[in-house]
Structure 1
Amino acid sequence: MSIPFTMLKLDPGHAFGVNGRMQKDTGNEAKIVDQYDFPLVDLDEVDILFIPNFIDQEWLYLQREKIAAFLANKKIVVYCGHLFREWLPGCGLFMPQHIRNFNDYEVFPTEQSGIFEGVLTEDMTFKKGVAGFFARGYHHAPANAEILLTFANGKPVTYIDRCSTNGTILVHAGRELLGYAGENKSTDRIRPQFLAWLETELQALKEDNDQ
């Protein structure tokens, strides 16, 4: 099946990178490029920039103008991780979730969350009986962001920002959304539903650009 968009994924290329990812890509939806080659990449034909956790954020901070220009052209940036440098427009810095007991790690899809539709809270929260693998904190989202996933206290784990730039930014305070597959539980729905959302969102941006 052909992919109806061009996605570039930056690879951290360290212990959790090419040879040791904690989550393996199972498809060929993205062209993978070493993070330090990013300044050399021509983004004109790229629709989506996918930035995973463990990325070198000090390096991305130096590339923040290129990321902003990409979004200005009505493209999509997806960031999965914990932001500690202000290289992503509109995104507040990562804040750890206040934990009193393991139930504070529970995450809940909102009504407007197609990406997490049908995904059970317990399947996201617990892995082999341990809580906290899916998300351990949140980002302060812009006031007009579309919230997809929260902790019980309402702190946003995953959100969509269509107002900070001309493009669309999806922020997920956890591991990369492309990596959820082959677990034989409801989290297997995340990857295909995420890819479907990317296709729909990109089409909406293109239609808006044509008007």
Structure 2
Amino acid sequence: MNNSQQRILLLRVETYFTGEQMGSPPNVEGIDLGDQYELAQCDLSPYICLAIDGIADQEHLYKEKAIIESFLNLGKIVVFCGNLFRPWLPGGRSFVPRAIVDHRDYAVGNPDPAHPIFQGVRSEDMTYNKGVAGFFARGHHPLPPSATPLLTLPGGEPITYIDRQSTSGTIVVHAGNNLFGYWSEANSSGRIGPQLMQWVQEEYRRLQEGRERV
């Protein structure tokens, strides 16, 4: 597969509520938009990654879960950002909301600050948006066996994790808005989108070559 084919398909449900307010990524090279309801008819061969955000119709995804699992078993990547409530994603378990006493319960921990997706991103910039906590994540998904947590809540609950065991591909799950949407230069959280794009490219190369991944 040549460089022109190293693309990401973002599955969308076109409603009034999609777009900027859902953490939609900007118009950047490498991300194509696709209608979720046309997944069964879509040629996925040019894509190395499916990105699915929290506005997705999970009842429909459950009906098409075999397509998603087959895509992963080709040594490809799925990035889901949202709250799981249907078993359409291999290894995925239902979202657990965080019990809140005060804003510090939403504090984002980064146990591996050198990880390429979140390198150089300050925890405070993920925790707070214009001084308000809770926009980044308000709960977690229990880890599948052997999954690796990347970001956590104060009790160690995984906000974001990588699962390389449930399929022959790689699954990233984030219990919040679309990570590909973090591009703003206002603070360090704007590094997440570009770094995730780069990590997807490298992860795919490692998957195809059978190399150790990070």
Which TM-score band (shorter chain)?
A: over 0.9
Distance 1:90 1:204 in 2: 21
Aligned to 2:100: 99
Q: What CA deviation, in whole Å up to 9, does each residue of 1:155-176 have, x standing for no partner?
A: 0000000000001000011100
Change (3 A) 1:43 1:24: closer
- 1:110 and 2:102 are equivalent in the alignment: no
Unaligned runs of 5+ in 2: none
Alignment-derived partner of residue 129 in structure 1: 131
**Residue pair 2:25, 2:178 contacting (<8 A) in 1 also:** no
Shift of residue 106, structure 1, vs aligned partner: 0.5
Matches within 5 A, 1:41-120: 41-111=42-112, 113-120=115-122
CA distance in 2, matches of 1:130, 1:3: 40
- How many residues align structurally? 207
Q: CA deviation at 1:44?
A: 2.3
**Residue pair 1:4, 1:199 contacting (<8 A) in 2 also:** no
Identity %: 44
Indicate whether 1:23 and 2:38 are aligned.
Answer: no
**Is the 2:22–2:55 contact (alpha carbons within 8 Å) kept by the matching residues of 1?**
no
Deviation at 1:4, TM superposition (A): 6.4
1:71-90 deviation line (CA, Å, top 9, x unaligned): 11111111000000000000
1:204 to 2:214 alignment: no
> In 2, Cα distance between the equivalents of 1:56 and 1:159?
22
8 Å contact from structure 1 (residues 126, 133) kept in 2: yes
Give 1:136 shift.
0.4
Q: Are the aligned partners of 1:125 and 1:134 in contact in 2 as well (CA < 8 Å)?
A: yes
CA-to-partner distance for each residue in 1:96-144, whole Å, 9 max, x for gaps? 0121111000011122532111211111111111110000010011131
1:177-196 alignment runs, 5 A limit: 177-196=179-198
In the alignment, residue 204 of structure 1 is paired with which amino acid?
R
CA distance in 1, matches of 2:5, 2:38: 25
Q: Write the distance in 2 (CA, Å) between the matches of 1:53 and 1:29.
A: 21
Given that 1:109 and 1:117 are in contact with CA atoms closer than 8 Å, whether structure 2 keeps it comes out as: no
* Structure 1: tracts of 5 or more residues without a match: none
**Conserved in 1, the CA contact under 8 Å of 2:22 and 2:178?**
no
CA–CA separation in structure 2 for the residues paired with 1:4 and 1:132: 36
After superposition, the CA RMSD in angstroms is 1.7
Q: CA–CA distance in 2 between the matches of 1:22 and 1:165?
A: 28
Task: Provide the rounded CA distance (Å) in 1 between the counterparts of 2:174 and 2:96.
Answer: 13
Determine the C-alpha separation between the residues in 2 that align with 1:77 and 1:3.
Answer: 19
